[in-house]
Structure 1
């Protein structure tokens, strides 16, 4: 089997397995018992990772336009590394903790009518942003992996072609992640 075929199989497999694993962990009623206080800080850690990724993506894009390929490679490699770190932390968090419910002020795991009325349209705005963030984060994974593959394979024509729509989606996901965290942060347990 040639390298291109192996790469495409890896990209396809990861593109299915990663979102499926995340969905199972989020919606599973079974959580790994772990009573570690540091687990509660993972959402803030992930928001920081997303913020750093956004900065690196912008820097990497600027470096590519300026022709500084060495700094472009470094920025994009660090972005991918941070993406892997994010995924590992995200899986750790959601395998041990329940998801936060936006607006659940008393943190009892139920959004009462009173709580829902007190946040009004903010819940719709939050859920719209969250849904777009989640959907685009799942969609962008195979394209990011393909962009890296094309760069490594030195097929720069395909790399540039795929990056034209992959980069803005990845940047959107990296920017909306911290915004989603900031909006939901009052509802995380301390």
Structure 2
């Protein structure tokens, strides 16, 4: 690996660390803020969960097509799809936070084994959604700095993590959707 490529990659590390810490903390903080408690007269955005669940599903599909594209040497298509997947994730995040700032969280009402399954999926989904942030950012930086060998190496880890988060986001929504008020 050339020193130039490594230096190009290293200049982004500060931002990767900052974003990997700030995004989950901001989401956690904003999750606890209710706009109505701050005096804002806002309608609950209860229409958002099926939209952001659909965005998760589209993200999963885009990730799969992006892997197909790169395996078939369609580099520009792969690059465009990955940028689109990142954009979808940002849109999801904005909608997710907006929903939780205007609406009470739905409570899962299932019982028995399905309850355990739901919480296992939910907890792993949340934990990996935090873990995947630096992986996505590092993978992206390695691509834009043309450090392709290192990009491929981390992409092999990032892809299944990101795909899991996207797919389980849909599953969590489908499991809790009967309990939305």
Residue in 1 aligned with 2:113? 121
Compute the RMSD of aligned alpha carbons: 1.5
**Structure 1: runs of 5+ lacking an equivalent:** 104-117
2:13 is equivalent to residue 8 of structure 1: yes
Residue in 1 aligned with 2:128? 136
Kept after mapping to 1: 8 A contact 2:55/2:88: yes
Residue in 2 aligned with 1:181? 173
Identify which of 14, 31, 35 aligns with 1:32. 35
Alignment of 1:1-80 (within 5 A): 3-26=8-31, 28=32, 30-33=33-36, 34-36=41-43, 39-80=45-86
**Structure 2: runs of 5+ lacking an equivalent:** 1-6
Tell me how far 1:56 sits from its aligned partner: 0.3
- Relative to 1, partners in 2 of residues 1:97 and 1:3: Cα closer, same or farther, differing over 3 Å? farther
Q: C-alpha separation between the residues in 1 aligned to 2:9 and 2:159?
A: 22
Q: C-alpha separation between the residues in 1 aligned to 2:28 and 2:64?
A: 29
User: TM-score, normalised on structure 2?
Assistant: 0.89
Kept after mapping to 1: 8 A contact 2:56/2:166: yes
Secondary structure at the aligned position of 1:119 is classed as coil
Identify which of 139, 143, 158 aligns with 1:147. 139
Number of equivalent positions: 171
1:82-111 deviation line (CA, Å, top 9, x unaligned) = 0110111111112222221101xxxxxxxx
Kept after mapping to 1: 8 A contact 2:35/2:42: no
1:91-143 deviation line (CA, Å, top 9, x unaligned) = 1112222221101xxxxxxxxxxxxxx62221111000000000011000001
Q: C-alpha separation between the residues in 1 aligned to 2:180 and 2:27?
A: 19
1:144-176 deviation line (CA, Å, top 9, x unaligned) = 011111110000011001001100110011111
User: TM-score, normalised on structure 1?
Assistant: 0.85
Tell me how far 1:3 sits from its aligned partner: 4.9
Q: C-alpha separation between the residues in 2 aligned to 1:146 and 1:58?
A: 19
